[in-house]
Amino acid sequence: MTKTTIGIFGGGQLGRMMAQAALPLNIQCIFFEASLDCPSAALGKIISAKSDDALNKFIESADVFSLEFENTPLTDVDILTQKKNLYPPRQALAIAQNRLLEKALFDELNIPVAAYRAVDSLLSLEQAVNDLDLPIVLKTATGGYDGKGQFVLHEKNQIEQAWAELGPAKSLIAESFVKFSREVSIIAVRGQDGEIRTWDLAENHHHHGILSHSIIPAPNSQALQPVAEDYVTRLLNHLNYVGVLTLELFVTEQGLYANEMAPRVHNSGHWSIEGAICSQFENHIRAVAGLPLGSTETLKPTVMVNIIGQHPNCAEVLALTGAHLHLYNKTERCGRKLGHITLMPNQQEQLSDLCRKLAVILPNPLALTSDMCID
């Protein structure tokens, strides 16, 4: 097999895990990243985005390119794609960077979404409140992650406050508040030959806007799985997508509603490293490199838990039978994702007990809630 080098925009933990999956395939990853001490530094060469002629050096350093975060500058992508291939395609990246474009694409493909309005002034925000009723969620159309760049309006007297906080962004989107019972995500991969494979739905739980933990397969999701697969397949084919794509969804009484898509490997898919025959990271690397895709079959029921803010006692975690620890080489900071733990006991009935034991070990009890247990 000819050795391939993949250039990755970004050097965070997603790039780190992509590189870990690439090495057994004799594929090397190189990263375009501002920080030389990023999580991916131990897995491949870092080309500092701050250095002279950095982008051109990066372009010349690899055979094919990908990314680990959707806010990769389109100006860089445009220069790159004049010479080399980028997967996923530019169109997917541009749409994912703008919530208004994203919602318009969902509408075009008949993927249900909450009612929304574009907002670019205080007057248009007032009109959106009248059109959509309260509560609504006001978001910046670009940027924002892990709950940032959002304001939930419950009362009309909050309109001026919401505009004062988010209005300087100028381009905003107001969405009707979706009454949902839970959040799920579908992760899929599409190869260069058009083959598509999907993983089981994950049920996702958040704390302060940050993913706390995911349960796989999502409980009581047999009827939801084919619907979610249909929606993500529409997106993949329409975009002529190559690589892993994630679609976040709300479960409502009216069915599944799309929240947003992520053109990359996703936090709710970290479980697949141990929990699936072929992980999201390996299949993404396979797709980018033009290799056959691997099976996405789930090996056994799994819970993935994020380590947020503080590191646990690693020895205590590793003493739990069925616990797999992944650390990202990041310093502690409030709200920062430092690693994750995948729980996979031999017997399904042991999973809830294992979750309870882990909840006691983690230094931040707010990262876990009682709904983690899956009795």
- Domain check: are 44 and 186 in the same one? no
Is residue 367 included in any domain, yes or no?
A: yes
Residue 279 is assigned to a ligand binding site: no
Nearest-CA neighbor of 6 among 86, 63, 85?
63
- Domain check: are 203 and 162 in the same one? no
Question: Which runs of consecutive H residues, i.e. helices, occur in the chain?
Answer: 13-22, 54-61, 74-80, 90-96, 99-108, 122-132, 159-166, 224-238, 272-275, 280-289, 314-318, 351-361
Per-residue pLDDT, 2: 65
pLDDT band at 373 (very low <50, low <70, confident <90, very high): very low
User: What is the rounded average pLDDT of the residues 44-58?
Assistant: 94
> Which distant-in-sequence residues (6+ apart) come within 8 Å of 336 by Cβ?
308, 309, 330
Tell me the percentage of the chain whose pLDDT exceeds 70. Answer: 95
- Domain check: are 123 and 260 in the same one? no
Task: List strands edge to edge, sheet with 46-48.
Answer: 46-48, 27-33, 4-9, 64-67
3-class secondary-structure state, position 31 = strand
Name the domain boundary from 65, 86, 107: 86
Predicted TM-score of the model (pTM): 0.94
Classify residue 333 as exposed, middle or buried by CB count within 10 Å of its CB (0-12, 13-18, 19+): exposed
Is residue 291 included in any domain, yes or no?
A: yes
pLDDT at 369 over 80: no
In degrees, rounded to 5, the angle at the alpha carbon of residue 26 between the alpha carbons of residues 23 and 31 is: 55
Compute the mean pLDDT over every residue in the chain, rounded to the nearest whole number: 93
Name the domain boundary from 176, 198, 214: 176
- Domain check: are 208 and 68 in the same one? no
Residue 91 is assigned to a ligand binding site: no
Residue 99: CB atoms within 10 A of its CB come to 23
pLDDT at 92 over 70: yes
Is residue 143 included in any domain, yes or no?
A: yes
Residue 300 is assigned to a ligand binding site: no
Residue 281 is assigned to a ligand binding site: no
CATH number reported for the structural domain that contains residue 358 in this entry: 3.30.470.20
- Domain check: are 301 and 245 in the same one? yes
CB hemisphere CA count around 96 (13 angstroms):
27
Residue 146 is assigned to a ligand binding site: yes
Calculate Rg over the CA atoms of the chain. 21
Is residue 326 included in any domain, yes or no?
A: yes
Per-residue pLDDT, 209: 84
Which residue in the block uniquely carries the two structure tokens 């899956």? 374
Is residue 110 included in any domain, yes or no?
A: no
- Domain check: are 292 and 345 in the same one? yes
In degrees, rounded to 5, the angle at the alpha carbon of residue 63 between the alpha carbons of residues 41 and 198 is: 80
- Residues 141-191 have pLDDT tens digits of 987 665 578 899 999 999 999 999 997 767 899 999 889 999 999 999 999
Per-residue pLDDT, 350: 86
pLDDT band at 352 (very low <50, low <70, confident <90, very high): confident
Per-residue pLDDT, 208: 83
Residue 260 is assigned to a ligand binding site: yes
Per-residue pLDDT, 169: 67
Is residue 341 included in any domain, yes or no?
A: yes
- Domain check: are 141 and 186 in the same one? no
- Domain check: are 130 and 207 in the same one? no
Q: How many domains does the chain have?
A: 3
User: What is the rounded average pLDDT of the residues 240-256?
Assistant: 97
Per-residue pLDDT, 349: 76
- Residues 296-307 have pLDDT tens digits of 999 999 999 999
Residue 7 is assigned to a ligand binding site: no
| Phi, psi of 137, deg, nearest 5 | -110, 120
Domain that holds residue 79: 4-86
User: What is the rounded average pLDDT of the residues 187-212?
Assistant: 95
Residue 56 is assigned to a ligand binding site: no
3-class secondary-structure state, position 113 = coil
What is the rounded CA–CA span in Å between residue 263 and residue 258? 14
Residue 206 is assigned to a ligand binding site: yes
CATH number reported for the structural domain that contains residue 48 in this entry: 3.40.50.20
- Domain check: are 132 and 215 in the same one? no
Is residue 245 included in any domain, yes or no?
A: yes
3-class secondary-structure state, position 278 = coil
Residue 82 is assigned to a ligand binding site: no
- Domain check: are 164 and 281 in the same one? no
User: What is the rounded average pLDDT of the residues 47-61?
Assistant: 94
Which of 3-7, 111-115, 371-375: highest mean pLDDT? 111-115
Which residue in the block uniquely carries the two structure tokens 């690397």? 285
User: What is the rounded average pLDDT of the residues 57-78?
Assistant: 96
Residue 259 is assigned to a ligand binding site: yes
> Which distant-in-sequence residues (6+ apart) come within 8 Å of 230 by Cβ?
none
Residue 179 is assigned to a ligand binding site: no
Is residue 105 included in any domain, yes or no?
A: no
Which residue in the block uniquely carries the two structure tokens 């069925």? 322
Name the domain boundary from 159, 176, 193: 176
What is the rounded CA–CA span in Å between residue 58 and residue 66? 12
Per-residue pLDDT, 146: 56
Tell me the percentage of the chain whose pLDDT exceeds 90. Answer: 85
CATH number reported for the structural domain that contains residue 131 in this entry: 3.30.1490.20
- Domain check: are 132 and 255 in the same one? no
Residue 195 is assigned to a ligand binding site: no
Residue 144 is assigned to a ligand binding site: yes
pLDDT at 368 over 60: no
CA–CA distances in Å: residue 62 to residues 6, 45, 321, 325:
5, 11, 40, 31
Residue 147 is assigned to a ligand binding site: yes
- Domain check: are 75 and 163 in the same one? no
What is the rounded CA–CA span in Å between residue 262 and residue 43? 24
What is the rounded CA–CA span in Å between residue 105 and residue 185? 18
- Residues 260-287 have pLDDT tens digits of 999 999 999 999 999 999 999 999 999 9
pLDDT at 3 over 80: no
